[in-house]
A and B are shown apart, each in its own frame.
Chain A
Amino acid sequence: MDAAAATPAPKSGRLARIFAAYGQELVVLGALLALMAFSGAVNARFLSENNLNSIFSGNAYVAVAAIGMSMVIIAGHIDVSVGSLIGVLATISGTLAVRGYPIWVAWLAAIVVGIAIEAVNGVLVAYARIPAIVVTLGMLSILKGGLISATSGAWITNLPPGFLLAQFRFLGILSPVWFAAVLTVLAALWMRYTALGRSIYAVGGNPDAARAAGIQTKPTVVFVFALHGFFAGIAAILFASQLQVIQSTVPPNLELNVITASVIGGVSILGGTGTVIGSTLAAVLFAAIGSSLIFVNVSAYWLKAVLGLMILATVLADMARRRRAV
């Protein structure tokens, strides 16, 4: 990655454009590969099939949630309630499954409720003109309090085996990996090649220009939030079905992890740029870092500090790269 940035003149127009357009994604990919090489050298078990599978599939739900979050951030907004939302959706889904409803109903419920709640957020942001951080900060409390009132954190056990989506394998690879990969690619293509997808960039980059160009900014914003709810629903099912029991609580720090994955992946907090490919790669990178720090025997007391340092380093590297590009 340093080599790429230090290249004095672009090799060819097309290559240069790829580097310029996907710079941060390449940086993250490079960091991921470097990390895997380094950790594999220190402890060969890091690269074992089991470990790679568990790194990728164990955190795929963060990547899926980050797809929706990236779209929201690209559109110029943010959602700090996604962690509470996923906790709520996982609980709803698991409860329905245990109560005997068909599996597909349980899965669909998570998605539908996710879309509905986020659509409410979107309406408040777009039509009531309340800043997204305020709406979602309020929604975070409402969802968290509501969940605890309803369940008191009870364990949901006796999940029917057909419900455990995250434990299915296709071609030997666990399904969350497939979901993350396929959804990322589809979302990236949709955002780049469809008018509606591109309008998200426009709305985030310059809302006035977008409006002047004939884009209906308010319905678009509601739509983006609803779409984010769709991804949150899928993420919730993957999250809920990793184990045979569901803890009906709000997973700690999930929203921060998702937002961090998005911004490290190159989605600009100012709106208008970034891709979902970057956020998925970044989510994978964090999972890999978390695992590698344990493999490499970093002192357990310093684990968080090292992680924080790496986040900071990635951020600074990104800014340095952007300034050089400008």
Chain B
Amino acid sequence: MLRAALVTAVTFSLAASPAMAAPAWTGGDDLPTSPLACDATPAKASAKAYDGGVPTKPPDRKGKKISVVDVPKLIGIGYFNATSKGIADAAKELGNVSAKTDGPTKANIDEQITFIDNYITQGVDGILFAANDPVAISPVLKKALSKGINVVGYDANSTPEARQWFVNQAQFNGIAKALMDSMAAEIGETGSFAIVTSTFTTPNQARWIAEMAAYAAKCHPKMKWLETVEAQEDNVLSFNGATTLINKYGGDLKGLFGMTSVATPAGAEAVTQAKKCGQVSVIGLATPNAMKPYVNKGCVKSVVLWNPVDLGYAATYVLRAVADGTLKPGATSVKAGKLGALQVVNGSEILLGPPFIFTKSNINGFDF
């Protein structure tokens, strides 16, 4: 009976694989993509009208002390520790912002919504958020706006009308280009690679994978995508996933993408333990601390990330500017403390800047 069930299950799933209309690469979403040019032509900054939300009758907060809550996707992982640190740094520098980070212990929309809702009741002046789902978070953010609370997002966007501004670390297609170009540089134009991501439903990761697929089809058509595995935000699961991929494809696997700041170090560890440093390239997004052992040993050549501390820092400055009324719809740039003037793109997004590349030469100078 077990055997019958086993066979049925496997047959069913093998039959299901071609039957379902899957996207180009597993793990990507089905939203429209806009791959960048293959050469170093910078992306055209689109001049779009302001499409952010507007708070209803906000009180005059100019120059006054404001209380801000930061609700990331989840607390308890290194990446959002870093953004939280940036927020705290900015608050200290500004002097008139009291910020605290609070959020769910797992990347669940329901819990995140409850947190934001409770802080609305508490009567905070500003909300910073990184959304677990862009559409699901919108009702509660709109509620915040309707109560006159300033709302600014970072890292993971909501629908535009639910927040006033969104601080984007880098454009989705820009990240896709940086990752794919790095991989092509290391494994060549005919190399095969696999992807370790968080889950197929995490919006940012799904966007990146979709954009990577589109960009690869355009500029690196001979590179071969093998497979995508899910590993949530867990270190050991990512390690096991990467190891399984290395074992499954053997010498056919030349590169691994780590789509989360947890998957990349785990992938590097898997390559190290499989004694394939130099044979399998690991490219991905990661925080420097987690990657130091691998970059210093030369197993990983470069790590792509924006600086999450800067991201949180910028988001706080934007929120302060919004609360003070110095950043208004239609602005083309905003001053963000030590980061200087940041550009406004896509109507209501603020770009942090180009992705930051950590290498052996600079990685030891960072501590997050």
Residues of A within 8 A of B (CB): 1-2, 27, 31, 34-35, 38, 43, 45-46, 48, 50-51, 54, 58-59, 144-145, 147-148, 151-155, 157, 167, 239, 242-252, 290-291, 293-303, 305-306, 309-310, 312-314, 316-317, 320
Contact = CB atoms under 8 A, between A and B. Distances in A.
Interface string B16-29: 11001010001100
A139 B266 CA distance: 29
Interface string B303-339: 0000000000000000000000000000000000000
A299 B77 CA distance: 29
Contacts of B262: 247
B293 A27 contact: no
Given A144-B105, A249-B76, A301-B200, A243 B234 contact: no
Contacts of B80: 153
A197 to B, nearest CB: 30
A243 B287 CA distance: 16
A34 B3 contact: yes
Contacts of A155: 78, 287, 289-290
A239 B237 CA distance: 11
B265 interface: yes
A157 B368 CA distance: 11
B16 A299 contact: yes
Contacts of A151: 76
Interface residues of B, number: 58
Given A58-B240, A252-B232, A293-B13, 7 more contacts: A45-B249, A54-B240, A58-B239, A243-B269, A247-B77, A296-B14, A300-B228
Main SS class of interface, B: helix
A244 B236 contact: no
A148 B248 contact: no
A56 B115 CA distance: 41
B92 interface: no
Nearest to B249: A45
30 contacts: A31-B6, A34-B3, A46-B248, A48-B247, A54-B240, A58-B236, A153-B76, A242-B236, A243-B239, A244-B269, A244-B293, A245-B235, A245-B265, A245-B269, A245-B290, A247-B234, A248-B76, A252-B232, A290-B240, A290-B244, A294-B245, A296-B10, A299-B16, A299-B17, A305-B13, A306-B13, A309-B5, A310-B5, A313-B1, A316-B5
B236 A239 contact: yes
B121 interface: no
A210 to B, nearest CB: 34
Interface in B212-257: 227-230, 232-237, 239-240, 243-250
A300 B6 contact: no
B219 to A, nearest CB: 25
Given A1-B2, A298-B10, A247 B235 contact: yes
The CB with the most chain A CB atoms within 10 A, among B2, B106, B228, B233, is that of B2
Given A298-B13, A299-B16, A300-B230, A243 B235 contact: yes
Contact of A300 (B229, B243, B273): B229
B20 A301 contact: yes
B78 A252 contact: no
A314 B17 contact: no
Contact of B236 (A35, A144, A243, A301): A243
Contacts of B17: 297-299, 302
